[in-house]
Amino acid sequence: MLKFILFTSIIISLYAQEPISPIPLESGVNRDKAKLGKELFFDTLLSKDNSVACVNCHDVSQGGADSNVVSIGFNGKKGNIQSPTVFNARYNFKQFWNGRAKNLYEQVDGPINNPVEHNLDSKIVEQRVNNSKLYKKRFSDVYGISKIKYTHIVDAIVEFEKGLITPNAKFDKYLRGEIDLSDNEKNGYKLFKQYGCITCHNGINIGSNSFQKMGTFIEYKSKNSYPDKESITNKQIHYNVFKVPTLRNINLTAPYFHDGSAKTLTEAIDAMAKHNLGVELSKKEKKNLIDFLNTLEGEKPAILESN
C-alpha cells in the first residue's frame, strides 16, 4: 500500500512539472443523453433544407474537423472560416475561433441559427423534433417529457459533444509513465518547449485555453477577412487574434489555421516558425516536431462506437 501511495505521489508530481496534462480516461457523460445527442448530431432534420447535419462540418472520421478550407452549409453556401475540431471541445476555455461562445451550449446554438449553416430558429427546430414519433419516444424515455423544448435538444447534443474525448494518446501514456517515447519523439517535444510553442499550446487540450495573435513576429496577411477577436471587441489590437487551436489529433485535422492555408503539418510548422516564433527550422527539427505531434492522436471517442 505504501509503495502504491509513493508511486501515485510521484506520478502526480510529474504531472505538476509538465505543462501538458493527459485527457481523463472517462468522459463522465450521461450515456443515454449522449446517445440521443449523437442521433441529432447526425440528423439533417436540424437544417432548413434537410441537407446539413452537425457532422458535415465536424467529420468524426477527420478528427472531428472538416477537410475543406471552409464548410458547406444551407443551400450550398460557404462558411467564412475553417471549422475547428469538435473532439475534446469540452476542454476549450471558449468556443469558436474568436471565442464568441462561452460554452458548448452557446456553440451548439450558433450553427443552428446561422443563415449560412443550418438556417433554422429554435421554434422550427422544436416543431420538427416534436413531429417525429421516434424523437418523441426517445426524449420521453431519456428526459421524461411529453413536449420537447429547444433547450432539451441543445442539452442532448452538448452531452454527446462532451463524450467526444480522445484519451490514451501515446503522449498521454508517456505522461502517465506507462510507455516511453522514441528518441525522435522526445527530441520533438524538447524542441516544442525550447522554441516556445508550449507557451500557447499547453494544458489538457494542448491549446484552446488562450487567445494569440497570428503573426507576432512577422505580420500574417490573408486575402480574405475572418471573424477574429476584433470582430467581437471592435479593438484594432485584436486584429488577427484567435483562440489558440488544440493540437490533439492534429495529424487528422488538415487543413490548418483559421484560413485553412496550411495543407500539411510541415507547412503549418513553417508558417508558425516564421510568423509567431521568428525562426527558421531545419529539416531534422521539423521532422522531430512532426514525430512528437503524431503522438497526440488519441483513441476514437467511445461514444461513437455505442449504439
Q: What is the DSSP letter of 252?
A: G
Distance CA 44, CA 37 (A): 13
- Whether the link from the prior residue into 255 is cis, omega within 30° of 0, is yes
**31-41 and 133-143 helices, crossing angle to 10°:** 160
Does the active-site annotation cover 117? Answer: yes
**Buried/exposed code over 222-258 (b: 16+ C-beta within 10 A; e: otherwise):** eeeebbbbbeeeeeeebebbbbbbbbbbbebbbbbbb
**Rounded Cα–Cα distance for residues 219 and 186 (Å):** 31
Coil vs helix vs strand at 49: coil
DSSP code for 291: H
The residue to which cell 509538465 is assigned: 18
C-alpha 207: how far from its chain's center? 10
To 10 degrees, what angle do helices 133-143 and 122-130 make? 100
Please return the burial class of 4, using the count of CB atoms within 10 Å of its CB with bins 0-12, 13-18 and 19+. exposed
The answer to whether 178 and 14 are in contact (CB under 8 A) is no
Collapsing DSSP to helix, strand or coil, 142 comes out as helix
For residue 59, the cross-strand partners are 65
Q: Of residues 26, 39, 106, 117, which has the active-site annotation?
A: 117
Residues with active-site annotation? 117
